[in-house]
Structure 1
Amino acid sequence: MAFTTFAAIDVGSNELSLKLFQISKKNGIEELEYIRHATYLGSYSYKHKKICSELVNEICEVLEQFQKKMEEYQITDYVAYATSAIREASNSVLILDQIKLRTGIKVKILSNSEQRFLCYKAIALKVEAFQKIIQNGTAIVDVGSGSIQISLFQDGCLSQTHNIKLGSLRIQELLSSMEDKTDNFHKLISEYIDNELITFQELFLQEQKIEQVIATGDQLNLFLHITSQKAGSAPINAKSLNQVFESLLSRPLEELTRHVSFPKEQVSLLIPTAMIYLKLFKQIRAKEIYLTEITLCDGIAAEYAQRKEKIQSEHDFANDILCSARKIASRYHCNQAHIENVNSLALSIFDSIRKLHGLGKRERLLLEIAIILHSCGDFIDLTHSRENSYHIILSTEIIGLSHKEREMIAELVRYTPKTFPSFSLNMDSTSKENYIKLSKLFAIFVIANALDKSHKQKFSNVKISYRQNVLTITTDTVEDITLESGLFQEKASFFEEVYGIKPYIKQKRRFS
């Protein structure tokens, strides 16, 4: 039986972890070994906005041990990610360079949306009947050290997701200086959490009924250990679980620490963690809660196994990204008929000239998202719509996309052929590659958008053919397309500059 051994490394905010896996088509993902090392990385980063040399030394020493463990298993295929602690540090680039030089391990920083999406992929694989569960109103609540992510599902698809900087470690660091100034530190934490969650509830929980919650997060494993709860496919009654959380919060920290082998600093994080879960469960008002032991390492393995086609998921993750984008477009009252028409035209063009652009499924997805969001700036100001759309996309998290991908989408909607930036010889190799990719997607987007300039969907029935260096867009519409044809010429010139061919409009029937 063919199998692959793989290592996943998480340089997290309060621990460094290594999971070793055996992956095969027959047995899926099997965990071989799990190694963890507690660290104060997040505590220092959230407080000082950088990482000190002592912590860098500690990271390197631990990663060297991880490297030796990987060698024991003869593992050469690995992925190492860092999350919010390093992501938010001002010296993050220097830290990653030191790690690479000293350990040989290349660590990549995950954006928040990428991090949560990986965990969500692991949940979809590990939680039995996941596809059935999310048919009804479901929330995935992921409480991390730096923030919490709440993703809402309806009818089997992600409807919206929101990040709130209320992570357990971040709360502890922000409020630790006030602990000696109050007789009720728990109440202080509670009030701080309420301030953020009440706003979330008023804005987003009114429009969707949540029946079930899937809970995951950094401290959930410790919570399960202390309370003797079990993770699994069977849901737990929300009322019973709330009582467990309330009981946990009533126990002194010293008592909790005596019953576990975890450091006191980690156990202390249970207080803000338990409060966040407790308040969220009560606000969401779900009847049932699924507890999971999913970690980022599980998500890394799931992503790797899917990419290598070792496993298949019945859930369509790309569709979730599109659903999330459509929800944003709906929030800004975008013209759905126009979006659907432009999207259909653009994707038809994209598919017709695959040999010309050489782009893949991921770029096709980015083009589709750009089309969905291209007119959201109209909601703010029609005069500066493109610039407004650009800033909306940059400031709105889209789960599953990296920051660089979101930047490319924002650039696609920002420019016209006249304002599109010129190529610079000073660009590095990565910038050149991204510029070429942006140019190819933009050329397709602008001609597709021009074909529905009137927003009347005159080109709803088209055939696109590419033969002998000619791209022909044929329509049998009986409507007057003078406006679209006239505006098309400028866009066609840009397309020709990028691809070396000029697109033409051909109308089979004339209006009478």
Structure 2
Amino acid sequence: MSKKNTGSHSTAAVSKVKFPERKTGESFPLRVAAIDMGSNAIRFVAAEFLSSQRYIVLESERARVRLGAETFRQGRLSAAAMQAAYRALARFQERMRVLRISHARLVATSAVRESSNGEAFAARVQKGLGLTLEIISGSEETQLVYRALKPQLRPGKRPWLLANLGGGSLEAALVNQDGVLVSETHTLGAVRLWEEFKASAHKPKIFLRLLEEYVATLRLGFQETGRPWAGLLATGGNIEELAKMAKAPETAKGIRELSAAALRRLLEALLATPLKQRMARWGIYPDRADVVVPAAVVYLHLSQLSGQAKFRVPEVGTKEGILFDLVDRLTLNSAYALRQEKQLTHMSLSLGRRYQFDEAHGRQVSRLALSLFKQLRAWHGLGPEDQRLLLVASLLHDIGAYISYKKHHKHSLYLISQSELPGFSPEDMLLAANVARYHRKNTPSLDHESYASLLPAQRLRVAKMASLLRIADALDRDHAQTLREVAVRVKRPWLELKITGKDPRELEHWALERKAQLFTQLFKLRVRIVAR
């Protein structure tokens, strides 16, 4: 289905917007576009924002390209699917040119993320069309969905369970007014399930039993604490379609409310209706008629897991989240940077709690490390992205103790590198993991496999961040959080630390002498604590 709105021709190039440090932002009205390359379809939307929260849709289209079919069977994107996707992107690029849109963001999710040739396809798109295709993690997708639904839902303190089911994966999260509290990704998408069990689809009872038994293995790694969940939010194209098919009522806020009982009745009707007749009876596309059944089974299981008898379906998703996020960046929304840091802190703390870390120590070390980072910016020359990496590494540097305190820095390297955080690529997680790994014991060395795998420029960044983390960790050696602030002064050949709070004990002096050696090696400054 496509909405068309022709506009004046423009020669403006369309690409993924860059996010440099800028002194002035774009102003409203502002035209932007989003492309969400999912496992079952590619979705395009162009919009004109009148303010940071209000926009009108100029054009939208859903290209029926099932990228996930071959990926979930063979582990790679098929040549036919890549060609169809490329043609769709070229068409969308032309529409953006006609609509005079020069800022757009393109993201790809599980089908491209899991394929062995996904990076090669992204490179082909870059070379042929000049478009940058971002391959994002499940946690980043959750953040985008949350950004889209927050203005509509206005959640309070009580957490909601957010279930975003796509073709390749299920993103489950707890969200409230503060943002995404915790999220996890499960390889349980509707297209994936269809490809796995479609051979039995001609036998509805067996097909349903296989789906239900397979989906029943899903467990959520988080549980509610304190007050009960506020409700169950369901997002994704399949649940939107199911809610319409079930004629679920719509609230004044534009959120459909679908009962689990109504969804169960609809599932039974779908199973009793042959595939081709489903399209005629409910007016759905062929690429939706098959996957709505496994999608319904997943959502019904989530209803049972959560104890929620009703789904709230806000009918917004990844592509709308991309629009909001892009506008925030372009207009330098004053709350944007603060919100991003707050979200990253929330998610990092949730990850740390999963491994029962010393939260008070992690927070203290992170606060001191970031203070050193900001005060010494002229010396280390690191950028905003490195500050985010240091935030994660410093908060989580000790999580490896969950496995064993012995060599826990190496366990931290593994746990962080194998985790997901919003806005962080696997490469980013590896950098943060290496910084955390060097908070104690040996300094960076090419003898260490993970460090040696980095590019030379990345190794230098890791070493600089690790040198700050080691100093911050030394200042809370007793895990007592007795220091309130640290002020730095360079007085060659010394970096002098002026401490506010309880006077450091001999233990901190001893730890600093040992741990500051990396900083001295990099910056040719010895480190000492001076009297206030």
- Provide, for residues 272-317 of structure 1, a one-character-per-residue CA deviation record: whole Å limited to 9, x for no partner: 1112112212321236542122232212111111111265669934
Do the aligned residues in 2 keep the contact of 1:28 with 1:310 (CA within 8 Å)?
A: no
| Secondary structure of the structure 2 residue equivalent to 1:496 | helix
Normalised to the residue count of structure 2, the TM-score between the two structures is 0.84
Q: 1:231 to 1:61 in 2, by over 3 A?
A: farther
Give the whole-Å Cα distance in 2 for the aligned partners of 1:27 and 1:139: 23
Does 1:371 pair with 2:394? yes
Residue 147 of structure 1 corresponds to which residue in structure 2?
A: 169
Does 1:309 pair with 2:331? yes
Residue 129 of structure 1 corresponds to which residue in structure 2?
A: 154
After superposing the two structures, state which structure 1 stretch, 342-351 or 499-508, moved more.
499-508
After superposing the two structures, state which structure 1 stretch, 438-447 or 411-420, moved more.
411-420
Do the aligned residues in 2 keep the contact of 1:473 with 1:503 (CA within 8 Å)?
A: yes
* One of 245, 248, 252 as aligned partner of 2:263: 245
* One of 442, 453, 466 as aligned partner of 2:466: 442
Give the whole-Å Cα distance in 2 for the aligned partners of 1:40 and 1:138: 31
Cα shift at 1:207: 4.1
Give the whole-Å Cα distance in 1 for the aligned partners of 2:53 and 2:229: 34
Residue 205 of structure 1 corresponds to which residue in structure 2?
A: 223
Q: 1:49 to 1:26 in 2, by over 3 A?
A: closer
* One of 347, 356, 361 as aligned partner of 1:324: 347
- Provide, for residues 336-389 of structure 1, a one-character-per-residue CA deviation record: whole Å limited to 9, x for no partner: 332233223212212222333344544333322212211111121121201111
Letter matched to residue 145 of structure 2 = C
Does 1:294 pair with 2:310? no
Does 1:273 pair with 2:295? yes
Q: 1:461 to 1:204 in 2, by over 3 A?
A: closer
Give the whole-Å Cα distance in 1 for the aligned partners of 2:261 and 2:51: 42
Give the whole-Å Cα distance in 2 for the aligned partners of 1:191 and 1:227: 24
Give the whole-Å Cα distance in 2 for the aligned partners of 1:159 and 1:105: 32
Does 1:12 pair with 2:38? yes
Give the whole-Å Cα distance in 2 for the aligned partners of 1:115 and 1:242: 25
* One of 479, 489, 492 as aligned partner of 1:466: 489
Q: How many residues in Structure 1 have an aligned counterpart in Structure 2?
A: 495
Cα shift at 1:442: 1.2
After superposing the two structures, state which structure 1 stretch, 286-295 or 108-117, moved more.
286-295
Letter matched to residue 395 of structure 1 = Q
Letter matched to residue 129 of structure 1 = R
Q: 1:31 to 1:500 in 2, by over 3 A?
A: farther
Residue 100 of structure 1 corresponds to which residue in structure 2?
A: 126
* One of 470, 475, 483 as aligned partner of 2:507: 483
Do the aligned residues in 1 keep the contact of 2:142 with 2:183 (CA within 8 Å)?
A: no
Residue 194 of structure 2 corresponds to which residue in structure 1?
A: 172
Q: 1:312 to 1:138 in 2, by over 3 A?
A: farther
Residue 528 of structure 2 corresponds to which residue in structure 1?
A: 504
Summarize the alignment of residues 356-435 of structure 1 with structure 2, pairs less than 5 Å apart: 356-415=379-438, 416=440, 418-421=442-445, 431-435=455-459
Give the whole-Å Cα distance in 1 for the aligned partners of 2:49 and 2:382: 29
| Secondary structure of the structure 1 residue equivalent to 2:357 | coil
CA RMSD, 1 decimal:
3.0
Cα shift at 1:183: 4.2
Give the whole-Å Cα distance in 1 for the aligned partners of 2:250 and 2:136: 27
Cα shift at 1:115: 2.1
Q: 1:287 to 1:195 in 2, by over 3 A?
A: closer
Do the aligned residues in 2 keep the contact of 1:462 with 1:473 (CA within 8 Å)?
A: no
Give the whole-Å Cα distance in 2 for the aligned partners of 1:477 and 1:296: 46
Cα shift at 1:192: 0.9
Does 1:214 pair with 2:227? no
Give the whole-Å Cα distance in 2 for the aligned partners of 1:114 and 1:206: 22
**Structure 1: unaligned runs, 5 residues or longer:** none
Give the whole-Å Cα distance in 1 for the aligned partners of 2:53 and 2:346: 31
- Provide, for residues 409-468 of structure 1, a one-character-per-residue CA deviation record: whole Å limited to 9, x for no partner: 1111112474403599xx99x93443333222211101111122233345x144313355
Cα shift at 1:172: 0.9
Q: 1:156 to 1:26 in 2, by over 3 A?
A: closer
* One of 78, 84, 87 as aligned partner of 1:61: 87
Residue 37 of structure 1 corresponds to which residue in structure 2?
A: 63
Q: 1:29 to 1:434 in 2, by over 3 A?
A: farther
Give the whole-Å Cα distance in 2 for the aligned partners of 1:289 and 1:182: 25
Give the whole-Å Cα distance in 2 for the aligned partners of 1:304 and 1:30: 15
Cα shift at 1:155: 7.2
After superposing the two structures, state which structure 1 stretch, 71-80 or 17-26, moved more.
17-26
Q: 1:12 to 1:35 in 2, by over 3 A?
A: same
Normalised to the residue count of structure 1, the TM-score between the two structures is 0.87
Q: 1:332 to 1:94 in 2, by over 3 A?
A: closer
Give the whole-Å Cα distance in 2 for the aligned partners of 1:237 and 1:39: 27
After superposing the two structures, state which structure 1 stretch, 302-311 or 31-40, moved more.
302-311
Give the whole-Å Cα distance in 2 for the aligned partners of 1:37 and 1:462: 55
| Secondary structure of the structure 1 residue equivalent to 2:216 | helix
Cα shift at 1:25: 3.5
Give the whole-Å Cα distance in 2 for the aligned partners of 1:340 and 1:323: 11
| Secondary structure of the structure 1 residue equivalent to 2:386 | helix
After superposing the two structures, state which structure 1 stretch, 150-159 or 378-387, moved more.
150-159
Give the whole-Å Cα distance in 2 for the aligned partners of 1:496 and 1:164: 45
After superposing the two structures, state which structure 1 stretch, 224-233 or 335-344, moved more.
224-233
Letter matched to residue 164 of structure 1 = H
Give the whole-Å Cα distance in 1 for the aligned partners of 2:179 and 2:40: 32
Cα shift at 1:22: 1.4
Cα shift at 1:143: 0.9
Give the whole-Å Cα distance in 2 for the aligned partners of 1:230 and 1:354: 55
| Secondary structure of the structure 2 residue equivalent to 1:74 | coil
Does 1:84 pair with 2:107? no
Does 1:75 pair with 2:98? no
| Secondary structure of the structure 1 residue equivalent to 2:36 | strand
**Structure 2: unaligned runs, 5 residues or longer:** 1-26
Letter matched to residue 73 of structure 1 = L
Letter matched to residue 344 of structure 1 = R
Give the whole-Å Cα distance in 2 for the aligned partners of 1:230 and 1:21: 27
Cα shift at 1:399: 3.6
Give the whole-Å Cα distance in 1 for the aligned partners of 2:430 and 2:251: 39
Does 1:117 pair with 2:148? no
Q: 1:182 to 1:285 in 2, by over 3 A?
A: closer
* One of 51, 67, 72 as aligned partner of 2:77: 51
| Secondary structure of the structure 2 residue equivalent to 1:30 | strand
